[in-house]
Structure 1
């Protein structure tokens, strides 16, 4: 008997891989969508990120990013009076497109 329910994409995660007070690295995996939006927003309020002058966003493990999560990144990046410098690394083409559509490319360097 065939599976009647198609497999749902793997739920995504974001973690702070490292943070030293000046620099933070966030690691993204799986699919970031409305199912993880509230967790993402809480993580983006972490004090270690607010203290960092630069964020590297490692998106090499990210399969898909929805617009709501992209906007959450944009809000977090521009919230502080002195916004952190953002660098996006390893984003797939469709993730890159979502970031661009949300306007993240206006505040971040997106490396191909």
Structure 2
């Protein structure tokens, strides 16, 4: 009896792409799902020198389907670890992603454009 091929972890891997990088502004675009299985990759991306050196970081979440609490807290840690004059902006997050961001308090340290 042949078994069905099992989906690999790659199939659920989110796409975390820096789509614009500059000293003034850097954009990190999200797609797919961010959950505990992808937390390590998210944390690695959040310490990318292009993000850390930018005055404004924009998180484009138009294509993000799911964000769990562990990943939302990683975003909060990254936001609160930025220099005082740096700006973090969240754009395009869907209703469930927005709810998770609000639940962890990201809206108190970032600009959330709904």
TM range (shorter): 0.7 to 0.9
State the partner residue of 2:36.
34
Give yes or no for the alignment of 1:57 onto 2:59.
yes
Deviation at 1:83, TM superposition (A): 5.5
State the partner residue of 2:101.
99
The 5 A counterparts of 1:16-35 are: 16-35=18-37
- CA shift digits 1:53-99 (9 cap, x unpaired): 11111100000100110110111111133262111111000000000
The 5 A counterparts of 1:47-86 are: 47-82=49-84, 84-86=86-88
Q: Name which of structure 1's ranges 60-69 and 80-89 shifts more when overlaid on structure 2.
A: 80-89
State the partner residue of 2:113.
111
Distance across 2 between alignment mates of 1:81 and 1:87: 14
Distance across 2 between alignment mates of 1:12 and 1:85: 24
Give me the TM-score of the superposition, normalised by structure 2: 0.85
Helix, strand or coil: the match of 1:43?
helix
- Count residues with an aligned counterpart: 107
Distance across 2 between alignment mates of 1:69 and 1:105: 15
Give me the TM-score of the superposition, normalised by structure 1: 0.87
Instruction: Report the CA distance shift for 1:106/1:64 in structure 2 as closer, same or farther (over 3 A).
Output: same
